Structure 1
């Protein structure tokens, strides 16, 4: 059941659990083929080993830690539309790219001072990077006439 409280959409816990079970059951053997990743264990497996596929559309994490993700890991997430990291992540080896399909990018305490070079976020509609170390944001939009 979905309800709206003060312009916020809230889902019953059982509906959320059922949705998560459906995602896991569709690809129980290969975490990289799941459409959504929300546990740090699954996210780390995919990002450290560069196991991402075009199936992944959303990544949501909220635990603080140091992550040793493969800098190229986002390059295989061609359909990643939602990236929400609401924690203090340390990415000591950096990132080489972000998905060009991102529509929503929330990264609280983004640990780097720039986005990866060549980042093209043409689909982006919501950007929230509170308390980040980001010093320069170069999001160039191209206008097609």
Structure 2
């Protein structure tokens, strides 16, 4: 079952369970997916199918990151009620994301990507990041991975 179908099935179940918070979050996910579909159609790409599984994973990753940042901001502002709501939304979204790689797995993935792309210097960072994104979308935080790739490339060049 693809992600889109899983989200829709979860939405139907949440409606039956009268879980308004879950329904709200799942509707936000569906809206983001439909926005991406519309954008893809406007660009003339993938007219019949809409966005692909990787696009949906990227959307979910972005939504998770946005809510984590919002929760942090609410905590700093003393709005713990809003921070809790954002945290619960992150938990709901995370149900649809694949298991995140741990630090050792990320380091191995980076080394594999460097080898696969033949990267030898910091100038090849884009190639390595592209390789990682094609294989591990939704399974690692690329904001944290970028500096790690940079460190690996600087260490191998020096």
Give TM-score scaled by structure 2 length.
0.24
Report which of the two structures shows the higher radius of gyration computed on alpha carbons: 2
After TM superposition, the score normalised by the length of structure 1 is 0.25
Larger proportion of strand: 1
